[in-house]
Amino acid sequence: MKKLNIIIIIFLLFSLSNISAEELDKRNKITKNLRCLICQGQSVYDSDSEFANSLKIVVDEKIKEGLSEKQIYDYFKEKYGDWILYDPGINKYTYFLWLLPLLIFLFGGTIIYKKLIKKL
């Protein structure tokens, strides 16, 4: 009986740690993309400030509530604005940032293509 109890406990511990490992991965991913607004160049994941620690608790709560990554980002965006995200989506303030590399690539590509055509 004792052995069975131990096996059950070990099984439960393993299954519990599996769930929390998944949650931990999600939490780490999210907190790495959240900026610690009171720190200098640190993410919430890296920071141990009061603000970052509270944010980590809120992220945990939101994950437990079943919110998706996007929903959690939207929640923080609503509270603190786009600045809290390290990886903001395309909007009127960031479209240039997103499109610039593509424009440079196309521009450079055209120059190289034209030069190559000329040589051939």
Partner 1 sequence: MKNKILPISLILFFIIIFYIFYKGLEDSKIYTPNLNTTIKIPNFNIKDFYTNETIESSNIFKSDEVYLLNIWSSWCVPCRQEHPLLMKLNKELGLNIVGMNYKDNKENARDFLNELGNPYHKVFTDLDGTIAIEWGAYGVPESYLISDNNIIKKYVGPLNHEIIDEIKLLIK
Q: What are phi and psi of 85, to 5 degrees?
A: -95, 135
CB closer to partner 1, 26 vs 77? 77
CB closer to partner 1, 70 vs 118? 118
Q: Decide if residue 67 touches partner 1 (CB under 8 A).
A: no
Distance CA 43, CA 84 (A): 9
Q: Decide if residue 85 touches partner 1 (CB under 8 A).
A: no
How far, CA to CA in Å, does 120 sit from each of 98, 109, 115?
34, 16, 9
List residues binding partner 1 (CB under 8 A): 37-38, 50-51, 53-55, 57-58, 61, 79-81, 83, 96, 107, 111, 114
